[in-house]
Amino acid sequence: PCYYILLIVSLLQCGFLTGMLGNSFIVLVNCIDWVKGQKLLSADCILTSLAISRIVLLCIILLDSYLMVVWPHLYTIGNITKFVNSFWALSNHLATWFATCLSVFYFFKIANFSHSCFTWLRRRISRVLLMLPLGSLLLLLCNFELIDTFSNFSVNVYQRDERNSTLSLNVSKTLHLNSLIVFSFIYLIPFLLSLASLLLLFLSLRRHTRNVQQNGSRDFNTEAHKRAMKMVMSFLFLSTIHFNLCFPHWILLDTIKHHRFSPE
């Protein structure tokens, strides 16, 4: 089991280093531009905030993994469990919604629809970008409440007597699986918003390309559509990778708990 745990930790470290390098580069470039006196655009500010939140999230995931490997007994302390889980939820929430805001921003700035609702929202893009994270605070509060419930129950599972090791293991696995399912539903909303932005950008690109071909005019907006779609697709791809990285983290937790609760 030790080699198995080390392999999972190594995979998490590779993901950590890759994410840290990419996000640190984004923060560094924008900070250099800001120090030089250049005005940062709204997209740059959102992108920098997204990179910072992802850096914090990666650090918390790495810390959590090391705690489970080196000091698993710390998870019998309720305050430490709640502290780590709460910071993980906060950083993950911010990273997810900053990515969603950036997708929505590109959609309203580049897409072109004649619908009155789209025009009304486009003129108020600043308010829309402000309301998205503010509105998500309700989901964050629900997330914290779930974390408090799951943390208390998880600590009780850790503190079970050795005679109930099989029961403790089964309850612990069920608890963690249920928490992953619930948290996945919470983050389904921003994922669907980003996906909707991508699909609407694609529809706008098709309409724009068809109009250019019919009118024979020069195309100035197609490349902007394509760049925006690539950006949104990259956010969706990174979000998918992030959720996939949760599975090695869950396997690590499951392996450690099995090693802890299994009879000698």
The secondary structure of 69-96 as a DSSP string is: HH-GGGGGSHHHHHHHHHHHHHHHHHHH
* CB atoms near residue 14 (< 10 Å): 10
264 pLDDT band (50/70/90 cuts)? very low
256, 86, 161, 70: CA torsion to nearest 10: 40
Task: Tell me which of 2-6, 50-54, 70-74, 141-145 is least confident.
Answer: 2-6
Query: Contact 101/129 with Cβ under 8 angstroms?
Result: yes
Q: pTM value? A: 0.74
Give the residue, 4 or 85, on which the prediction is more confident.
Answer: 85
10 pLDDT band (50/70/90 cuts)? confident
Query: Contact 105/46 with Cβ under 8 angstroms?
Result: yes
Give the residue, 186 or 105, on which the prediction is more confident.
Answer: 105
What would the two tokens of residue 97 be? 């919604």
